[in-house]
Amino acid sequence: MKCAPFDYVRAASVDEAVTTLSQADGDGKILAGGQSLVPVLALRMARPSVLVDVNRIPGLAGVTPEGDAVRVGALTRHSALVEQTHHPLLADAARWIGHTAIRARGTAGGSIAHADPSAELPVVAVGTGATVTVAGPGGTRQLAAEDLFVGALMTDLAEDEMLTEVRFPLPTRWGFAEFARRHGDFALVMAVAAEVEGTVRVALGGIGAVPVRAEAAERVLAGGGSLREAAAAAAEQLTPTADLHGSAEFRRAIAAEMIRRALTRAGLS
């Protein structure tokens, strides 16, 4: 299949991009890496009237340390996240994204804005307590990653807004674990454990519509419980989505093991 006809605008600035989106009346899409959007267009599952190419906008790429956090520009490629050393957790998680060609084109902002519940970066964002910067016709706003994701492939972004930057806090200890049928496939379950400002945060992906905090595990750890107790407590409270890749009970069991591995890798045993 081929894409349905559309107008193409190569934006030179964030202002031009959001203005174009606003003029599209909800029928515009942002083109960055295109690793999620282009297949959807080719299958005609989406038929936007306007594509806004943001790849030439200056200042939207790069990983910049800032005190106890790093700022990641929306156009930062996954391959750059793998290669950077400022945020090891991001580098570790990005290695699991697709394959070399996908990592060379896919972007951090695109992955988070796409909000696939089985994608790595949204889970890292929730697990570390990241905040996102969003630009729109009325200016910019910041919101927590946990508030950005509202459903599978759904975010709090308005039709005329674009994500420009993500601020990831630097954990003092961290661990990442993922279970997929093959390396590069979408995760069936993944877990992030991160100690941020003295508090251990645990997040899971692949078990529902959005990345979720495993708050039961966090409470057990705060009370001095073991890693296995924390993993078991989290699994008990999960209501995973069942599909052709695995039952809810299967995902619950895998989630417990991924939590245990992430916590172990974080050195929290």
Q: Where are the domains of the chain?
A: 7-53, 63-169, 173-265
Quick one: average pLDDT of 1-7? 89
- 3-state class (DSSP) for residue 240: coil
Quick one: average pLDDT of 35-58? 95
Residues 6+ apart with CB under 8 A from 15: none
Q: What is the structure's pLDDT at 215?
A: 96
CATH class of the domain defined by 7-53? alpha beta
Q: What is the structure's pLDDT at 35?
A: 94
> 229: buried, middle or exposed (CB in 10 Å: 19+, 13-18, 0-12)?
middle
Q: What is the structure's pLDDT at 242?
A: 87
CA 106 to chain centre: 12
Query: Band of the pLDDT at 183, cuts 50, 70, 90?
Result: confident
**Record: fold of 63-169:** 3.30.465
Beta strand pairing status for 69-73 and 63-66?
A: antiparallel
What is the pTM for the complete model shown? 0.96
Q: What is the structure's pLDDT at 251?
A: 94
Please give the structure tokens belonging to residue 117. Answer: 């519940």
Instruction: Give the whole-angstrom CA distance, residue 82 versus residue 120.
Output: 12
Query: 156-171, pLDDT tens digit by residue?
Result: 999 999 999 999 999 9
Quick one: average pLDDT of 86-91? 98
Please state which architecture CATH assigns to domain 173-265. Answer: 2-Layer Sandwich (3.30)
Quick one: average pLDDT of 194-202? 97
